[in-house]
Amino acid sequence: MIAVRFQVVAFSAAFALCIAVAGPALAQKKYDSGASDTEVRIGNIMPYSGPASAYAVIGKTEEAYFNKVNAEGGINGRKVNFISYDDGYSPPKTVEQARKLVESDNVLLIFGSLGTSTNGAIRKYMNEKKVPQLFVASGASKWNDPKQYPWTMGWQPSYASEARIYAKYLMKEKPDGKIGVLYQNDDFGKDYLKGLKDGLGAKASMIVMEDGYDTWEPAIDEHVVKLKASGADIFISITTPKFAAQAIKKAAEINWHPVHIISNVSASVGGVLEPAGLEISQGILSASYTKDGSDPQWNADDGMKKFYNFLAQYAPKANKLDAGVVFGYAAAQTMVKVLQMCGDDLTRDNVMKQAASLKDFEPDTLLPGIKINTAADNFAPIEQLQMMRFKGKKWELFGDIISSDLGH
């Protein structure tokens, strides 16, 4: 009897001790796999090899940024362990790597994976597993679908938002214009076109012609000629760099001088406007949300100073002219912000909750005034852009920051 009673006492004492030890810990610190007192494991998938390997610089910049964060003491005392794998831009490989990250490396979340079809391949898996797929590096608008896919969130302005901004601009500046649209016949072009029509709303009849081209067409001259013949005085070119340059050249050749808007995808000076001809590119319009790393007007800017310091210290080989570096920096900064907001509650639930409660967050490399805002029903972090006009040898920003909300 005594022995038994002693056991009971011992047990209850042990139990009480457990509660005493675990109690406050439970109240403050909560972890899902991938997070601990010392570490947060973040997964990432990038095309380090294959056709899209030019974008791999985004992953490298993000890695350098997390190195900086770790060197400065980590996030709430925890070091970031950034595990980045190569998928060669092939969706089946993305699935393999995502499963490796989630099931073998036990990451807390997957951050910033690149590509539309690659992320499309793992979206269902991530949502079934309830692992956050945060800040997808793709401009498709489908990442903003919190009802069906509550574990997936985009980051950059979607193609549709960008198009809505052009629609807003045109309705204000040229309400009687006739719009001719040239679009690439794929997900990018169609997303864009839809955004443009949504943006124009009742004024969608401003579009007098929409003409699609396929990427395997060697030249798009005919399409440009057709658009001119339609009588359009606004030319929206929803094209990838090679075709954007062709369209600029052809329009000048046939002496067509409409208000010419090119998509942000093709707004590269070195990649599009220079090959097309700087002289004929004067006055072309586009929109942007990031600061241009090569533009001297930002030399005195605090955010960009931090960015340049970061490059000098942690990524000396990175090319500051590459838009991917600016992009990776801002995306990683957003990720770190979310983890800071999580505090000691590093569960996947809370990560999604915090990612959906960003308020007016301004990464260093985004244009002044562009703020990241999310909500439980809004998984599109960046929705603002600023119009810019090509003048001389560079883009000049003008006007206010425009939000893509349909409302105002």
Partner 1 sequence: MSAVEEVVTEAPAVEAVPKRAMTLGTGTSLLVLAALIIMPIFVKNFIIFQMTMLLIYGLAVLALNILTGGSGQFSLGQSAFYAVGAYTTAVLMEHFEVNYALTLPIAGIVCFGFGFLFGQPALRLSGVYLALATFALATAMPQLLKLNFLEHWTGGVQGLVVTKPDAPFGLKMSQDMWLYYFSLVVVIGIYLLAVNLLRSRSGRAFMAIRDNEIAASAMGVDVALYKTLAFGVSAAITGIAGSLGAIAVQFVAPDSYTITLAVSLFLGMVVGGVGWLPGSIVGAAFIIFVPNIAEGISKGLSGAVFGVLLFLVIYLVPHGARQVAILGQQLAGKLRKN
Q: Is 117 a binder of partner 1 (CB under 8 A)?
A: yes
Q: Is 316 a binder of partner 1 (CB under 8 A)?
A: no
Q: Is 75 a binder of partner 1 (CB under 8 A)?
A: no
Q: Which of 44, 113, 116, 333 binds partner 1 (CB under 8 A)?
A: 116
Stretch that binds partner 1, among 37-45, 84-92, 255-263, 300-308 (CB under 8 A): 84-92
Q: Is 48 a binder of partner 1 (CB under 8 A)?
A: yes
What's the 3-state SS for the chain?
CHHHHHHHHHHHHHHHHHHHHHHHHHHHCEECCCECCCEEEEEEEECCCCCCHHHHHHHHHHHHHHHHHHHCCCECCEEEEEEEEECCCCHHHHHHHHHHHHHHCCCCEEECCECHHHHHHHHHHHHHHCCCEEEEECCCHHHCCCCCCCCEEECCCCHHHHHHHHHHHHHHHCCCCCEEEEEECCHHHHHHHHHHHHHHHHHHHHEEEEEEECCCCCCCHHHHHHHHHCCCCEEEEECCHHHHHHHHHHHHHCCCCCEEEECHHHCCHHHHHHHHCCCCCCCCEEEECECCCCCHHHCCCHHHHHHHHHHHHHCCCCCCCCHHHHHHHHHHHHHHHHHHHHCCEECHHHHHHHHCCCCCECCCCECCCCCECCECCECCCCCEEEEEEEECCEEEEEEEEEECCCCC
Q: Is 90 a binder of partner 1 (CB under 8 A)?
A: yes
Q: Is 187 a binder of partner 1 (CB under 8 A)?
A: yes
Q: Is 319 a binder of partner 1 (CB under 8 A)?
A: no
Would you say 287 and 387 are in contact if contact means Cβ atoms under 8 Å apart? yes
Which of 186/349 has CB closer to partner 1? 186
Environment class of residue 359 by beta-carbon count within 10 Å: exposed (0-12), middle (13-18) or buried (19+)?
Answer: exposed
Stretch that binds partner 1, among 7-15, 70-78, 121-129, 356-364 (CB under 8 A): 121-129
Q: Is 85 a binder of partner 1 (CB under 8 A)?
A: yes
Q: Is 88 a binder of partner 1 (CB under 8 A)?
A: yes
Q: Which of 186, 302, 349, 396 binds partner 1 (CB under 8 A)?
A: 186
Q: Which of 30, 100, 226, 353 binds partner 1 (CB under 8 A)?
A: 100
Q: Is 50 a binder of partner 1 (CB under 8 A)?
A: yes
Which of 84/239 has CB closer to partner 1? 84
Task: Please give the size of the binding site for partner 1, defined by CB under 8 A.
Answer: 36
Which of 121/244 has CB closer to partner 1? 121
Q: Is 141 a binder of partner 1 (CB under 8 A)?
A: no
Nearest approach, Cβ of residue 198 and partner 1 (Å):
19
Tokens of 259: 């208000």
Q: Is 142 a binder of partner 1 (CB under 8 A)?
A: yes
Stretch that binds partner 1, among 183-191, 236-244, 282-290, 349-357 (CB under 8 A): 183-191
Interface of this chain with partner 1, residues 272 to 311, rule: CB under 8 A? none
Stretch that binds partner 1, among 2-10, 115-123, 165-173, 372-380 (CB under 8 A): 115-123
Q: Is 49 a binder of partner 1 (CB under 8 A)?
A: yes
What residues are paired with 322 via a beta bridge?
Answer: none
Stretch that binds partner 1, among 110-118, 159-167, 195-203, 242-250 (CB under 8 A): 110-118
Binding residues vs partner 1 (CB under 8 A): 48-51, 60, 84-86, 88-92, 95-96, 99-100, 102-104, 116-118, 120-125, 142, 185-187, 214-216
